[in-house]
Amino acid sequence: MHIDWWTLGLQTVNALVLVWLLARFLFKPVARMVSERQQVVASLMNGAAAAKATAVDAQAQAAAQTAQLAQHRGGLLEAATAEAASLKASLEAAAHADADRLRAAARDEIDAMRRDAARSDAARASQLALDIAARLLDRLPPQARVEGFVEGLADALGQLPQTTRAQLDAGGLRLVAARALNDDELAHCRAVLAQTLGREVTLEASVDPQVIAGL
């Protein structure tokens, strides 16, 4: 086999020139483009990672704020519930107090009405009794309004303490009757009272229209 060294040398030179051309005009630009693309991709990846981290932080902050709002809302609900319960208890207590006051006022008013009615009934009964007694006494002789009460007056005076009886005649005795006394009735009253008191008495008689009988 014959080897042509000139041809081999030329082919080698051509190959070296081709490699140099490829390295200068193809491999380096491609490597530079790949490097630039890698830098861009790395920058995009870093940006994406930063954005993801920001999003995660924002999500965490949002979750924390949501939890805080939920806790605050729960606190507000508890406070509102407690305040409503307190207000309900206060209103119930006020209502019970008002009801008690109204019942007490009603009882007092009813008691007052009963007392007024009782006093009115008693006054009417007393007036009726007085009217009946006056009508009965009108049927009796006039001296019955006086004679039947002299001894009772003497007995009442006799039951007084001795010191009180001693002071009765200091300025004379005033005898109040249902009608004007005649001389005999006045003398009888003076004699009975003198016997009871143990001394002579000065007696002045007067009439009170309100007295229906007695002395």
Q: What tens digit of pLDDT does each residue of 72-122 get?
A: 888 888 888 888 888 888 888 888 888 888 888 888 888 888 888 888 888
Q: How far apart are the C-alpha atoms of 205 and 215, rounded to whole Å?
A: 10
Task: Clarify whether residues 4 and 96 are in a common domain.
Answer: yes
The span from the CA of 30 to the CA of 36, in Å, is 10
Identify whether 214 is part of a domain. no
How many separate domains does the chain show? 2
Please report whether residue 163 resides in a domain: yes
Reply yes or no on whether the pLDDT at 151 is more than 80: yes
Compute the C-alpha angle 51/57/61, nearest 5°: 140
Give, for 123, the enclosing helix (H) or strand (E).
helix 28-139
Asked if residue 163 and residue 92 are part of one domain, the reply reads: no
Give the structural domain span for 187: 143-207
**pLDDT above 70 for 138:** no
Q: Is residue 166 situated within a structural domain?
A: yes
Could you tell me the pLDDT band of residue 47, with boundaries at 50, 70 and 90? Answer: confident
Which residue type occupies 14?
A: N
10 Å Cβ neighbour count for 177?
20
Q: Within this chain, do residues 92 and 190 fall inside the same structural domain, yes or no? A: no
Domain assignment present for 130: no
Q: What percent of the chain has pLDDT over 70?
A: 89
Q: Are residues 157 and 90 in the same domain?
A: no
Q: pLDDT tens, 176-186?
A: 888 888 888 88
114 within a domain of the structure (yes/no) = no
Which pLDDT value is given to residue 144?
Answer: 63
Q: Is residue 20 part of a domain?
A: yes
User: Has residue 135 been placed in a domain?
Assistant: no
One domain, residues 61 and 150: no
Helix/strand/coil (H/E/C) assignment for every residue in 19-57: HHHHHHHHHHHHHHHHHHHHHHHHHHHHHHHHHHHHHHH
The rounded mean pLDDT for the chain is: 80
